Amino acid sequence: MGIGIMGGTFNPIHFGHLRAAEEVAESLQLKEVIFIPAAKPPHKSEVGLVSFDHRWHMMELATAGNPLFVLSDLEDQRPGISYSVETLTQLAQDRGGSEELYFVLGLDAFLELPTWKSYRELFSLCHFVVVARPGFSPESLATMLNTQVSDSYSFDLQVQGYHHPSLNTVYYREVTLLDISSSTIRQLLAEGSTVRYLLPKKVEEYIQQHKLYQQL
Ligand code: ATP
Ligand code: MG
């Protein structure tokens, strides 16, 4: 049984993240999904980014009660910018190489991969599970793989993933499409609009209590 890794800013965590992780865990029979919030995300400006502690607390509230979901503060423990290649390398070492790692990413994030530090290394470190996201066509996944990583990928219908002779598999999962994003949630909050049913009730209450995201 493998281990899922879900990275992101989680500013804040919402049902799009949670449902995708749940469906991937079931589909690939993962024994756990580790959520790893980025301390200093390389691709995002600091504007509108609430503290690591706030994001962490909201994630605790959101994942409590799901025995499959685990949080890791690995990226907060390392100084400097949070690069996935370093996180995955560390996780692979910690786990003694005995467990298969499945890096879960939305299709939007996966398409941005070529801008990430040493992104090619990731394809030997872990499997990928790319999940559907509204507005992104599944064909773009194959195009990206073939042009930016290697033209030796071939789609295997049975596993719903792209195999490669020497690199790890890139799975694609057509999860329930939820058109929810943290940026939309932040926008709604700044306007004073309701965010009910977009994220867990306890997270919504935490945001209100701490007066987060009152302006963009
Ligand atoms: P922002 O709008 O600030 O970028 P976000 O909603 O995209 O926030 P992130 O923290 O950037 O959330 O995303 C973490 C990971 O979760 C990424 O791989 C992203 O593609 C994925 N993800 C986010 N929202 C969804 C969703 N609604 N459905 C599927 N995957 C999602
Ligand atoms: Mg995003």
> How does pLDDT run across 122-131, given as a tens digit for each residue?
999 999 999 9
Q: Ligand 1, residue 15: give the atom nearest the CA.
A: 27
pLDDT at 64 > cutoff 90: yes
pLDDT of residue 169: 98
The model's pTM: 0.96
Q: What is the mean pLDDT of residues 149-167?
A: 97
Nearest atom within ligand 1 for CA of residue 6: 15
> Which residues make beta-bridge pairs with 8?
37
Q: Which of 107, 141, 170, 181 has the most ligand 1 atoms within 8 A of CB, as the residue to mutate? A: 181
pLDDT at 96 over 90: no
* Beta-strand pair 154-156/127-131: unpaired
Cα–Cα distance for residue pair 69/53, rounded to 1 Å: 18
The CA distance from 100 to 123, in Å, is 13
- C-alpha of residue 113 to centroid of ligand 2, in Å: 12
Helix axis angle, 52-63 to 201-209, nearest 10°: 150
At 64, list the tokens: 């409590």
pLDDT of residue 1: 83
Q: What is the total residue count of the chain? A: 216
Report d(CA 153, CA 147) in Å as an integer.
10
The per-residue pLDDT for range 3-13, each reduced to its tens digit, is 999 999 999 99
Q: Quick check: CB of 177 below 6 Å from ligand 1?
A: no
Q: Which of 8, 6, 7, 12 is nearest to 50 (CA)?
A: 12
Percent of the chain whose pLDDT exceeds 90 = 89
Q: How confident is the model at residue 47 (pLDDT cuts 50, 70, 90)?
A: confident
Residue % of the chain over a pLDDT of 70 = 100
Rounded-to-integer distance, Cα 47 and Cα 213, Å: 11
List of residues 6+ apart from 109 with CB closer than 8 A = 8
Task: For ligand 1, say whether the CB of 84 is within 6 Å of any of its atoms.
Answer: no
Ligand 2 mean position, distance from CA 40 (Å): 14
| Residue whose CA is at the smallest distance from ligand 1 atom 13 | 8
How much is the mean pLDDT over the chain? 95
Calculate Rg over the CA atoms of the chain: 17
| pLDDT tens column, 168-179 | 999 999 999 999
Window from 7-21, 83-97, 121-135, 173-187 with minimum mean pLDDT: 83-97
| Local structure of 121: helix, strand or coil | helix
Of the candidates 106, 37, 24, 102, the residue with the CA atom closest to the CA atom of residue 72:
37
